Chain A
Amino acid sequence: MCRLTALLGGVFAAAGAHAVDLPEDRAELLYHAYTGGGVTANGPALLVRKSVLDKVSLQGTYYVDAVSNASIDVVTTASPYRETRTEYGLSADYVYRDSQITLATSSSKEPDYTANSVSLDISQESFGGMTTTSLGFTRGSDTVGKHNAPEFADYAKHWQYRVGVTQILTKTWIASANFEAIADDGYLQSPYRVARVFGAAVPENDPRTRSSRAMKFRLLSDLGHRDAVHADYRYFYDTWGIKAHTAELGYSRYFGDAILADAYLRYYTQTHALFYSDNAQQQTTYVSRNRQLGTFNSVGLGGKVAYALRKVPGSYDVKLNAGYQYVRFKFSDFTDIRTGNPYATNASVLQLYVSSTF
């Protein structure tokens, strides 16, 4: 009996010897700005994370998108507009031995669209901490409205199921694989956008269901001179006929003790949805001229610099961060009806933020 007790004690002690750490307490204050194709979207965002009783970590986020839209759709078929989207998020992480459970909720509001979601994620470390397996689920529920049309009201529901593995391969290599299945149901289009059929503008009509699959593989390696390189690839397909590939290569490096810089190149390409048409030559039930569903590719070149302003080991640190990305979009089957040529546009994404752990 004593031996059994000792054995059980040993097992529990061994199990307790390795445990997942709670995410560290941190705060981030971000200013973000997207400019491109006649659209600007900018605003502040705030994140605060704090642990309670060493078992639970609570996180609150606040995110504002002030959108001014004079995109090609809007300029050629409607009037430019401005609106603000505000999103609140709340999450709790609970750690028990080698597992971490995250329960999160978010609520996003803009004048004609509200989106609420609840998600549950569980991750488990195994194999001496070399393997982390994660499972997650998100349920989203949106209400769709239309400016100056109080009689218009519809909904969209989303189910997201994800699974992932992160694996330490060697002392300097880490890899991860993620898979996600998404199912959507409801009003999945825009009440403002129009399609073209025989050259005439008609309201777009997308299917009311969509099912998507995405898988992403990542590799990250320490190169040994306080620098690292990463390579990502994602494949996506859905029941609307879209197939997409995303590839990214990046390099990170320290300069002295205070500066960490990143540079990356991202390439994205997709085929068009079955019902997408620049100018349909037959009448079909479903028709869309949403260029996000067309054939296009984009190339993004980005960089980021983090500067450690203050660092007190074991107590707190404060970092100043700046990120910038230049993106070039080239559409194959979306005509700029002002010029008659395939549409292409540039965009820039700016992020300035202060981050702190404490």
Chain B
Amino acid sequence: MTAPRLFIAAALAAIATLSGCAIQPWVKPYERERLADPIMKFSRDSLAEKHNEHVRDVREGARGATGVQGGGCGCN
């Protein structure tokens, strides 16, 4: 990412964060019961996710942005 694009992205992120002062959270904590259920987690079991990501890293050209924390792997 070039420096101007990075700057614009940072500026947009700052505006979005600051504008949060004006907009109130529209889902209150007591309304998040269903979201707290394990069924609503993006990742439930980290070892199984890590294994899936390793299998894909080794066999596919694409990698990254999985939300699973990176680590070293002898993928070559």
Binding site for B on A (CB under 8 A): 18, 28, 30, 32, 34, 45-47, 61, 63, 65, 85, 87, 89, 91, 102, 104, 106-108, 110, 113-117, 119, 121, 126-131, 136, 138, 140, 142, 144, 156, 160, 162, 164, 166, 168, 170-172, 174, 176, 178-182, 187-190, 212-216, 218, 220, 222, 226-228, 230, 234, 236, 238, 240, 242, 244, 246, 252-254, 260, 268, 270, 273, 292-293, 298, 304, 306, 321, 323, 325, 329, 347, 349, 351, 353, 355
Contact = CB atoms under 8 A, between A and B. Distances in A.
B1 interface: yes
Given A171-B31, A220-B42, A222-B35, A349 B55 contact: yes
Given A47-B47, A130-B27, A323-B48, A113 B74 contact: yes
Contacts of B70: 117, 119, 136, 138, 140, 160, 162
B62 A270 contact: yes
B62 A244 contact: yes
Contacts of B46: 28, 47
Contacts of A142: 72, 74
**Most-contacted residue by chain B among A176, A244, A292 (CB, 10 A):** A292
Interface in B1-55: 1, 17, 20, 23-29, 31-32, 34-35, 37-40, 42, 44-48, 50-52, 54-55
A106 B45 CA distance: 19
Contact of A156 (B39, B61, B67, B76): B76
B40 A220 contact: yes
Contact of A188 (B37, B73, B76): B76
Nearest to A49: B46
Interface string B54-76: 11101111111111011111101
B65 A242 contact: no
Q: How would you classify the secondary structure of chain A's contact residues: helix, strand, loop or mixed?
A: strand
B40 A174 contact: yes
A246 B62 contact: yes
Contacts of B74: 85, 108, 110, 113-115, 142
7 contacts: A32-B48, A91-B69, A121-B69, A171-B35, A174-B42, A222-B40, A329-B59
Given A91-B69, A128-B25, A268-B62, 20 more contacts: A32-B48, A87-B72, A113-B74, A115-B74, A126-B17, A128-B29, A162-B65, A176-B42, A180-B65, A189-B76, A222-B40, A228-B39, A234-B66, A252-B39, A273-B61, A304-B48, A306-B44, A323-B48, A325-B52, A351-B51
